[in-house]
């Protein structure tokens, strides 16, 4: 239903009176003046408009007719129709012979403004509808699977496609919620222009969630490349709207309704792990951090406690922290001794000595893959 409100009626008046030298009135479907160049007439019943509405045609009021209509003024009153629906009347004050053609011009402008306003309402409704869909998808159990499938069907969403959650998080906590939300809304506008079908929602004043399709191959390498390419493309599309520091992370790509909340949680965890490893980083992909992200789920419980014990023993014996730094560098260089020694700026023999000491203190044999993996996993948990 096309709705004519006071603000919109006054906008029509102000825009049309910039180009016509006559007073313009805009009335609703009851003939009440909602907008006028003469503010004193706002809220009055307009007799000419009531006739135009009753007869569904233009009604002209000349000097002779005015005498028979209380409070009327000379002019033309033309019904406004949008999409076949009568939604009000526009009136132009003046002698009918002088304003008849002007009235048609004003009608065309008024109907164009009403059509644009109606289209904007529909777009806003569609946007809210899609955002609510995203909110429900990333919240397992909030809506039944059958309802989500019907919802997705109405939006043309194919759940057989592989999707990955991409999460934008604003880092500056000093800015207020209103400013943060305005920034996310600008990001959404840029993204909608870049890809109109993209599902997205601002789930908080500082977090924007996107659910793009990942069109990569089934092999792990192809999927990793596709995810990272998509991450870069989304960040580039949002970059002009971003005025504060932000982190963008992409989770694992999965098909189906059940895969979406998992990917969302994965993207959030990827951001946390990525930031812990690289404070200056801004873009993080699960496919670059899959092992530490998967391990991060073991952060509590007896398993995590057992994994951390060797590092606890090392911390007690490692006064200056050189042994831990050596262990970290060795793992960062894929356990290649020459490269680790160069990174640390020490001799290869010194590196070998430190690795032996680490083994003695932790009770682990770094030549065994299982023992290496235990130490690496413990470092990832921290």
Q: Which tokens sit at 278?
A: 């690289």
Query: Measured between alpha carbons, how far is 306 from 378 in angstroms, rounded to an integer?
Result: 9
Q: Please provide residue 19's backbone torsions phi and psi, each rounded to the nearest 5 degrees.
A: -120, -5
Q: Which domains does the chain have, with CATH numbers?
A: 6-110 (3.30.450.40), 145-296 (3.30.70.270), 299-381 (1.10.10.2840)
With beta carbons less than 8 A apart as the criterion, state whether 287 and 227 touch. Answer: yes
Cβ neighbours, 10 Å, residue 254: 18
Please report the pLDDT score of residue 300 as a whole number.
Answer: 66
Query: Measured between alpha carbons, how far is 135 from 128 in angstroms, rounded to an integer?
Result: 10
Helices (H) and strands (E) in the chain, counts: 14, 12
DSSP annotation string for 232-291: HHHHHHHGGG--S-EEEEE---EESTTHHHHHHHHHHHHHHHHHHH-TT--EEEGGGSHH
With beta carbons less than 8 A apart as the criterion, state whether 248 and 166 touch. Answer: yes
**Tens of pLDDT along the chain (382 residues)?**
677 889 999 999 999 999 999 999 999 999 999 999 999 899 988 988 898 999 999 988 887 666 656 666 888 999 999 988 899 999 999 888 888 889 999 999 999 999 998 888 887 888 889 999 999 999 988 788 899 999 999 889 999 999 999 999 999 988 999 999 999 999 999 999 999 999 999 999 999 999 999 987 677 788 899 999 999 999 999 999 999 999 999 999 999 999 999 999 999 999 998 998 888 899 999 999 988 888 877 766 787 788 889 999 999 998 889 999 999 999 989 999 999 999 999 999 999 999 999 999 999 999 999 999 989 988 887 7
Alpha helices, H only, 162-258: 177-194, 220-238
Strand, helix or coil for residue 111 = helix
Q: What is the largest CA-CA distance in the chain?
A: 112
């Amino acid at each position: 239903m096309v709705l004519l409100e006071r603000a919109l009626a006054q906008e029509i008046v102000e825009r049309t009176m910039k180009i016509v030298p006559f007073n313009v009135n805009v009335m609703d479907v009851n003939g009440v003046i909602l907008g006028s160049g003469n503010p004193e007439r706002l809220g009055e019943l307009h007799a000419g408009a009531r006739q135009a509405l009753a007869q569904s045609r233009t009604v002209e009021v000349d000097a002779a007719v005015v005498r028979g209509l209380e409070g009327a003024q000379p002019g033309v009153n033309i019904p406004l129709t949008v999409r076949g629906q009568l939604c009000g009347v526009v009136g132009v004050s003046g002698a009918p012979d002088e304003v008849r053609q002007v009235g048609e011009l004003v009608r065309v402008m008024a109907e164009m403004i009403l059509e644009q306003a109606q289209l904007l309402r529909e777009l806003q409704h569609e946007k809210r509808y899609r955002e609510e869909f995203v909110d429900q998808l990333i919240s397992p159990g909030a809506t039944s699977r059958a309802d989500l499938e019907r919802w997705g069907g109405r939006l043309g969403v194919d759940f057989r496609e592989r999707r990955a959650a991409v999460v934008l998080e604003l880092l500056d906590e000093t800015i207020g919620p209103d400013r943060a939300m305005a920034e996310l809304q600008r990001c959404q506008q840029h993204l909608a222009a870049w890809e109109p079908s993209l599902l997205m929602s601002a789930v908080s004043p500082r977090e924007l969630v996107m659910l793009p399709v990942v069109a990569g191959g089934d092999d792990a390498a192809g999927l990793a490349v596709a995810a990272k390419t998509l991450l870069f493309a989304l960040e580039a599309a949002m970059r002009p709207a971003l005025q504060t520091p932000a982190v963008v992370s992409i989770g694992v790509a999965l098909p189906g309704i059940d895969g979406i909340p998992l990917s969302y949680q994965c993207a959030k965890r990827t951001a946390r792990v990525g930031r812990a490893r690289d404070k200056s980083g801004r873009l993080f992909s699960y496919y670059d951090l899959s092992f530490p992200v998967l391990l991060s789920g073991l952060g509590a419980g007896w398993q995590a406690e057992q994994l951390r014990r060797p590092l606890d023993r090392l911390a007690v014996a490692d006064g200056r922290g050189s042994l831990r730094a050596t262990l970290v560098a060795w793992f960062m260089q894929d356990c290649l001794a020459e490269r680790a020694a160069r990174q640390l700026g020490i001799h290869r023999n010194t590196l070998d000595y430190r690795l032996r000491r680490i083994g003695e203190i932790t009770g682990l044999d770094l030549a065994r893959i299982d023992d290496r993996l235990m130490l690496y996993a413990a470092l990832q948990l921290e």
